[in-house]
Chains A and B, each alone.
Chain A
Amino acid sequence: EAQVTQNPRYLITVTGKKLTVTCSQNMNHEYMSWYRQDPGLGLRQIYYSMNVEVTDKGDVPEGYKVSRKEKRNFPLILESPSPNQTSLYFCASSWTSVSPYNEQFFGPGTRLTVL
């Protein structure tokens, strides 16, 4: 089954404790992205990757890191989480980034709480 998977689905942590949220897709997509969803703000793009070893900042990159060492994986790293990073996080992927209008496939989401 074609899908985007994220782990963990739920995470409660404390301020300053480094964490990683994994994202994997099995569709051989070139483009991958991370979003956070907050009430009334919709989804905001954190980072995206056009292909392996190519990443770029989205609208809200502060406090986050990403890496793209393999085509299928795109982990999101919070090296020192803070309470304002409490949110619902989504990973997404799509076909070649040459076309700007390919629909994105979303993972199920990771609900993160930082105390």
Chain B
Amino acid sequence: AQSVAQPEDQVNVAEGNPLTVKCTYSVSGNPYLFWYVQYPNRGLQFLLKYITGDNLVKGSYGFEAEFNKSQTSFHLKKPSALVSDSALYFCAVNYGNMLTFGGGTRLMVKP
């Protein structure tokens, strides 16, 4: 069975500083990995995905994620955080016909 872990419930960062939101996964075979973002009172929005190829994946709103097969990780990163990036972030792995999500990490960016 596949699983996703987001070890941090909350990440605090100052505006303008780099941010990292961590994700590790467990799945047999090749992983298809995703990051989604949820703003208050909204549904989830797709940010980026890793299917194959380059380990650094670029997505929406300046976010990127680094796939590391040996560490089974897919950390979300951004070079310079904005207050508007404050939201709930979910990592997910697609296996078969199902999508399994991590517990979510709340990102708080302070001015």
Chain A interface (Cβ < 8 Å from any Cβ of B) = 4, 31, 33, 35, 40-45, 48, 50, 56, 58-59, 90, 92, 97, 100-101, 103-109
Contact = CB atoms under 8 A, between A and B. Distances in A.
A45 B98 contact: yes
B44 interface: yes
A71 to B, nearest CB: 17
Nearest to A94: B99
Interface of B: 4, 6, 9, 32, 34, 36, 41-46, 49, 51, 90, 92, 94-104
Given A100-B32, A100-B96, A42 B46 contact: no
B101 A44 contact: yes
Contacts of B36: 106
B101 A43 contact: yes
